[in-house]
A and B are shown apart, each in its own frame.
Chain A
Amino acid sequence: MRRVAVTGIGAISALGKNVAEFSAALRAGRPGIRPIELVDRSKLRFKNGAEVPGYRPEDYLSGKEANMIDRFAQFALLAAREAMAQSGLEKGDEALHRATVIAGSCVGGQSTEDDGFADLYLKGRPRVNPLTIPKTMANAGASRISLEYGVHGAVYTISTACSSSNHAVGQAFWAVRSGATDIAITGGSEAMFSMGILKAWEAMRVVSPDTCRPFSKDRRGLILGEAGAMLVLEPLDRARARGVRILGEIVGFGMSSDAHHLTQPSVEGPVMALEQALADAGLAPEQIGYINAHGTGTMANDPTESSAIRAVFGRHADGMPVSSTKSMHGHTLGAAGALEAVATLISLNEGFFPPTANFQEPDPECDLDVVPNEAREGVAEYALSNSFAFGGLNAVLVIRAPASL
């Protein structure tokens, strides 16, 4: 089996339009949670979200392209452009022709659908925009990336709610490791700020009325965030031969299904995914030095995730930083796994553990070192990134720091 290097990362989120801005906000512990502007928040029970600030499609896309691509797929494409620029791979490269694109998304282009159906039902219009289908399809982001870079290999989308892009990156990792492909562009994107989608989340009663305080006793729920995040993966030997900067190595992936309840989390499911990931990496729990937690800030997730981490890591968890960057960039649903993998790679490259922001009061049920409010200097050799989805689907990535390669 081949070793798998990360040679490019890209991110657009509430914390900025590129990886440099994302990294600066993570280090400063500066949340991107603000009053929602994309929809009329006076009609919502919650008022805050994590929108990409000042995003103008025309800064990146022609007018025609912007019109043809839903916001979620725009974010996928922009994150891929940043990651690809860093990797140095260019359209026309032989390996890129046979590459793989695996992109996750939870709601896909439902915002486009929401607008179109509002026209139909509210305004009594007899027809919807003919671009509704190609803009809405969950694979629109993956297909756009394929078009832009001339990727003719396996291109597909994984939609497993909040684990979508961890599943995507995990599949891409395995595809490169096994030799099924030499290059993978993988990640996820999400843009859920439309009235219908926000109302559906409101009805779930898991969105915080103020901000996101993961692991804090006074947490009141999650904050929704939009984002795109992508990674470029290739064999480590190939990356070394090209002389390109190596940002880290993906060394393991594990997944499981709770088979317990559609929305109530279990401890056993995440434990199994964590154990599978460690086994896939061939690592002992004591070798892990940081976890980027799923850490949604809901009443149900945080104690369950804490128990799962304690079950696998025992006393080692006493001294292991575990933080939730969702406290800053919000819960980006199908982009979460990829965005948090990028956050983890930043941690491993820049030598700091990003904090859990907005933290106020320890919760005995979340008995972990959650790096409250301020980033901490330090670097792990191996780190995990957790995603646990509605539907009971769990996915865990194991990433190795570049300094130890």
Chain B
Amino acid sequence: MSDDLTQRVIASIAEAQHMEPEKITIDSTFEELGIDSLDGINILFIVETEFDISIPDEAAQQIRTVREMVDGVEKLMAEKQASSAPSQS
């Protein structure tokens, strides 16, 4: 897990929630951060835009913590790089 990616996810959550990024850690749960379902879809929108990825609905429903969000983004970024690799070679 890259620190840079983690920080970008935390910054996205902070932007959506209008809160200080310092108050968010990799171990924060969405519940602790006061993130409800409507906040959650707004965070997904900001994260999708930040990383230029598309997070499927059913994967999104499983995300309850910052760590799960970071792991999910990491996986989608890896898939994105794998699918764009052939055109780069």
Contact = CB atoms under 8 A, between A and B. Distances in A.
Contact of A264 (B38, B56, B57): B38
A240 interface: no
> Looking at B36, B45, B56, B57, which has the most chain A CB atoms within 10 Å of its CB?
B57
Interface stretch (A184-192, A202-210, A280-288): A202-210
Given A203-B45, A205-B44, A300 B37 contact: yes
Interface in B30-54: 36-38, 41, 44-45, 54
B38 A263 contact: yes
A262 interface: yes
A262 B56 CA distance: 23
Nearest to B54: A45
A221 interface: yes
A263 B37 CA distance: 8
Interface in B54-68: 54, 56-58, 60-61
Contacts, number: 26
Contacts of B61: 205, 299
Contact of B36 (A203, A205, A221, A261): A261
B38 A45 contact: no
B30 to A, nearest CB: 14
Given A45-B54, A209-B57, A204 B36 contact: no
Nearest to B41: A205
Interface of B: 36-38, 41, 44-45, 54, 56-58, 60-61
Given A203-B41, A220-B57, A299-B61, 4 more contacts: A45-B57, A220-B58, A221-B57, A263-B38
22 contacts: A45-B54, A45-B56, A45-B57, A203-B41, A203-B45, A204-B41, A205-B41, A205-B44, A205-B57, A205-B60, A209-B57, A209-B58, A220-B57, A220-B58, A221-B57, A261-B38, A263-B37, A264-B36, A264-B37, A264-B38, A299-B61, A300-B37
Top 9 A-B pairs ranked by shortest CB distance? A205-B57, A263-B38, A205-B41, A264-B37, A203-B45, A262-B38, A205-B60, A204-B41, A264-B36
Interface of A: 45, 203-205, 209, 220-221, 261-264, 299-300
